[in-house]
């Protein structure tokens, strides 16, 4: 009987390949390319292979190998591109930071300002190792992403605490986005973007029908009801408070933009996008009329060369130097290690690390780098489309949207498309908080993609199977 039931089932498990060997092959390239870049920088600057190249290659390869083994064991059907893309960006970021560490101008500036100089590349490698450990921890402990839905409102409380805490610490470079604990600095906003995506996913999953269906049509646009505007007005007000009290334009844009994107995904209403853009623009213009830090960023954005000499904040000089770096790079760039992007100063290895890419790898290198970011966003959105549960769809779309917004905000600020925000470029820029948070983000996307691509289980045999079996003559 049991044999008969097995062979007459009409729904069987789908034998989808796990693609783990594909991931392993891509990881080899993701490690080899930064190692070649490292050798290229060493030959360009010192005329010989850098002494730390072997250790760097083994370290990056070991981290990638551990991450791959954990994915193979705990997320067998996960998307095969996410881990190699993150590894490649992280590896290239380490090379760029090490390249800037070799700058005599940055060494001299650090010694005159702080009395000593400490290279950032070894610290970034340590942060990357800790980030991979957190990546492993998330995949091992988070067996099912739907568990996060239980903590919807706890996530909201934790995210608000993380966003509010920096208000009580001194401003760094004009913005209160850092907290200093025993000599260690943390940027809580990087972690808040993940936690608040969990809250938005849980909230919108419950409220999306009311937001999508209860609306009125006006001039071809579906307008939400007044009482349904409550969440977006609350989020808009919170993002403005962040901008006012912490003078953090980047986090407020990320925070509000992610909510609008997730609202659109949940309701499929274009009106939410229109409302979001109008309210975001109105809020930014309103705050820029009285907040000096935001005013200086807007002035530097409008004409950085006009205020190049007179600006005391340094924003005009940074943007102008960055634009000149991009211009000097041309189409193919000056070559790794042969640019002068270190003239930008203290932000050269943070949000302005893209200027090193633009000057030394040219427009072609910039396009390749942005393509890598675009592929991560595309794989995240593909995961959202493939997810079988609404919470997973919203969470994957929210995390992908947050990643895309952050890349756009940083790249747009450096390229002069929007005012400078001060956020860090994911994986490329120096910063422990950023690399830790983005590896956790990749781990959650991998967990959701594993659930989405996992073959459906074979149906349990039932007593009705005898009625549906096919009898061959």
Q: Would you state the structure tokens that stand for residue 276, as one six-digit string? A: 């979001």
Q: pLDDT at position 221, please? A: 63
Structural domain includes residue 333: yes
Between 233 and 219, residue with greater pLDDT: 233
Range with top average pLDDT, 4-13, 81-90, 112-121, 187-196:
81-90
**How far apart are the C-alpha atoms of 221 and 186, rounded to whole Å?**
43
Compute the average pLDDT of residues 288-316: 78
Range with top average pLDDT, 213-222, 335-344, 425-434:
425-434
What is the span of the domain harbouring residue 200?
20-453
Contact assessment for residue 198 and residue 258, using Cβ atoms and an 8 Å cutoff:
no
**How far apart are the C-alpha atoms of 384 and 371, rounded to whole Å?**
20
Structural domain includes residue 463: no
Confidence of residue 259 (pLDDT cuts 50, 70, 90): confident
402-448 pLDDT, tens digit each: 999 999 999 998 888 888 877 888 999 988 889 999 999 999 999 99
Compute how many other C-beta atoms are within 10 angstroms of the C-beta atom of residue 57.
18
Q: pLDDT at position 1, please? A: 39
Instruction: Evaluate if residue 25 carries a pLDDT over 80.
Output: yes
Instruction: Evaluate if residue 286 carries a pLDDT over 80.
Output: no
CA dihedral 355, 356, 362, 364 (to 10 degrees): -90
**How far apart are the C-alpha atoms of 13 and 65, rounded to whole Å?**
30
Helix ranges (DSSP H) in 219-352: 230-246, 249-267, 270-288, 292-302, 315-329
Structural domain includes residue 473: no
Q: pLDDT at position 4, please? A: 40
Structural domain includes residue 122: yes
Compute the average pLDDT of residues 173-181: 74
Contact assessment for residue 409 and residue 253, using Cβ atoms and an 8 Å cutoff:
yes
Contact assessment for residue 34 and residue 91, using Cβ atoms and an 8 Å cutoff:
yes
Structural domain includes residue 259: yes
Instruction: Evaluate if residue 277 carries a pLDDT over 70.
Output: yes
Between 231 and 263, residue with greater pLDDT: 263
Residue 217: in which H helix or E strand, if any? strand 215-218
Q: How many angstroms from the chain centroid is the CA of residue 108?
A: 32
Q: pLDDT at position 290, please? A: 74
Structural domain includes residue 252: yes
Q: pLDDT at position 13, please? A: 44
Residue 216: in which H helix or E strand, if any? strand 215-218
What percent of the chain has a predicted confidence (pLDDT) above 90? 36
Q: Would you state the structure tokens that stand for residue 273, as one six-digit string? A: 């996008």
What percent of the chain has a predicted confidence (pLDDT) above 70? 87
**How far apart are the C-alpha atoms of 353 and 93, rounded to whole Å?**
9
Q: pLDDT at position 147, please? A: 93
Instruction: Specify the residue for token string 């401003």.
Output: 171
Structural domain includes residue 8: no
Instruction: Evaluate if residue 101 carries a pLDDT over 60.
Output: yes
Say how many domains are in the chain: 1
Between 409 and 172, residue with greater pLDDT: 409
**CA distances (Å), 49 to each of 95, 168, 336, in order?**
13, 47, 14
Contact assessment for residue 297 and residue 425, using Cβ atoms and an 8 Å cutoff:
no
Contact assessment for residue 257 and residue 405, using Cβ atoms and an 8 Å cutoff:
yes
Contact assessment for residue 389 and residue 146, using Cβ atoms and an 8 Å cutoff:
yes
Structural domain includes residue 459: no
Q: Can you give the pTM of this predicted structure?
A: 0.88
Compute the average pLDDT of residues 307-326: 81
Q: Would you state the structure tokens that stand for residue 26, as one six-digit string? A: 């891509």
Instruction: Evaluate if residue 35 carries a pLDDT over 90.
Output: yes
Q: pLDDT at position 72, please? A: 94
């Amino acid at each position: 009987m049991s044999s008969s039931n097995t062979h007459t089932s009409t729904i069987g498990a789908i034998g989808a390949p796990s693609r783990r060997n594909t991931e392993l092959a891509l990881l080899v390239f993701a490690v080899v390319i930064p190692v070649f870049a490292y050798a290229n920088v060493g030959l360009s600057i010192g005329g010989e292979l850098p002494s730390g190249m072997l250790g760097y290659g083994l370290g990056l390869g070991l981290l990638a190998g551990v991450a791959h083994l954990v994915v193979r064991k705990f997320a067998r059907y996960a998307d095969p591109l996410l881990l190699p893309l993150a590894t490649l960006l992280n590896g290239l970021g380490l090379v760029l930071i090490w390249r800037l560490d070799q700058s005599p101008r940055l060494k001299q500036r650090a010694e005159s300002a702080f009395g000593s100089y400490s290279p950032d590349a070894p610290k970034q490698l340590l942060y990357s190792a800790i980030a991979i450990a957190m990546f492993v921890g998330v995949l091992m402990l988070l067996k099912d992403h739907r568990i996060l839905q239980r903590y919807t409102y706890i996530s909201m409380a934790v995210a608000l605490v993380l966003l509010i805490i920096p208000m009580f610490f001194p401003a760094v470079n004009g913005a209160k986005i850092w907290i200093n604990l025993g000599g260690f600095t943390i940027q809580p906003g990087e972690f808040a973007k993940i936690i608040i995506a969990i809250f938005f996913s849980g909230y919108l999953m419950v409220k999306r029908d009311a937001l999508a269906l209860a609306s009125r049509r006006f001039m071809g646009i579906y307008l939400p009801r007044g009482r349904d505007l409550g969440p977006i007005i609350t989020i808009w007000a919170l993002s403005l408070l962040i901008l006012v009290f912490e003078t953090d334009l980047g986090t407020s844009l990320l925070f509000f933009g992610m909510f609008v994107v997730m609202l659109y995904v949940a309701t499929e209403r274009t009106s939410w996008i229109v409302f979001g853009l109008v309210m975001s623009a109105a809020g930014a213009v309103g705050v820029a009329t009285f907040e000096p830090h935001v005013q200086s960023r807007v002035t530097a954005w409008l004409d950085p060369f006009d205020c190049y000499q007179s600006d005391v904040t340094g924003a005009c000089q940074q943007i102008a130097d960055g634009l000149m770096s991009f211009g000097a790079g041309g189409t193919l760039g000056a070559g790794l290690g042969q640019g002068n992007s270190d003239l930008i100063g203290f932000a050269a290895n943070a949000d302005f690390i893209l200027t090193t890419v633009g000057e030394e790898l040219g427009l072609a290198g910039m396009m390749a780098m942005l393509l890598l970011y675009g592929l991560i966003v595309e794989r995240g959105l593909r995961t959202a489309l493939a997810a079988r549960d609404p919470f997973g769809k919203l969470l994957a779309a929210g995390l992908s949207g947050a990643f895309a917004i952050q890349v756009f905000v940083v790249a747009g600020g450096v390229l002069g498309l929007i005012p400078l925000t001060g956020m860090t470029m994911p994986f490329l820029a120096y910063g422990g908080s950023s690399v830790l948070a983005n590896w956790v983000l990749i781990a959650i996307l991998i967990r959701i993609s594993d659930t989405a691509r996992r073959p459906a289980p074979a149906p349990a045999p039932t007593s009705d199977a005898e009625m549906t079996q096919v009898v061959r003559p």
